[in-house]
Copies of this chain bind each other. A is one copy, B any other.
Amino acid sequence: MPRQITSFSNATIKRVRGLAQKKNRIAEGLFMAEGLRICTEALEAGHVPRVMIFAEGDRHELTLRLIDETEASGGEALAVSRDILAKVSGKDNPQGVVGVFDLLDTSLSRLDPAAAAIWIVCESLKDPGNLGTILRTADAVAAGGVILLDQSCDPFSVEAVRASMGALFTTPIAQAAGEDFLTWLRTTPAMLVGTSLKTEQDYQAVAYPRPTFVFMGNEQSGLPDHYEAACDALVKMPMLGKADSLNVAVSCAVMLYEVLNQHRHQ
């Protein structure tokens, strides 16, 4: 039976609010996801909330299911006012529910590079919105996972989870140092392809095998030289305008659909 919480200073509410900060996520081993759709996707992917916070009076079938599953697994369901929900989510116009989940396993060693035809690798990706968008595209192309190298942003931030629209729960994520990634990658035959401004090779002129690893550089600086040197191919998209680069999530998506299209037309 959900408890009704009317105070901002309730201990659980305070703990959940604290999860907006990375240090608290690490200390607690938890992160939060907002919205009925994302929480339901999580549940369907086998992730039951530890804590479920919802607006009092919410009788939506999916909300009730989330509450039931949370309580059945020993978690806590809390009914709160819209004001408290807004405080928890940090938004004036909050989504109807907030779920708190165990941090996901992001070890690279649990993944098999031969298990999927397409993968994404991001080097020092900074913007959580870009990461969420890339996760969403990764889900769409049935990627084996998104591998975050070096100083990439935290996939469990509120912004990344929100932009992923739930793909965070359906697409494996790994965090690794560059060297460890390259060692892992080379345990199987695969193509590592980087997008680069330094090549004239058209991205459609390369035949992409299974698996192909699409390697995206940082938003500002692109791929560092030593990573470009580790690639099996460097390619570029036609850029006919004044700008010399695309948004990283856009560029990644154009690459991923090229690889997917080649695979499906084979």
Binding site for B on A (CB under 8 A): 41, 44-45, 129, 133, 136-142, 163, 165-167, 170-171, 204, 237-243, 245-247, 249-250, 253-254, 257, 260-261, 264
Contacts and interface: CB of A to CB of B under 8 A. Distances in A.
A204 to B, nearest CB: 6
A150 to B, nearest CB: 21
Main secondary structure, interface of A, reads helix
Q: Tell me the number of copies of this protein.
A: 2
Nearest to A242: B170
A44 B240 CA distance: 16
A159 B129 CA distance: 13
Given A140-B237, A204-B261, A261-B204, A253 B246 contact: yes
Contact of A170 (B44, B243, B245, B247): B243
Given A140-B246, A249-B247, A253-B254, A241 B133 contact: no
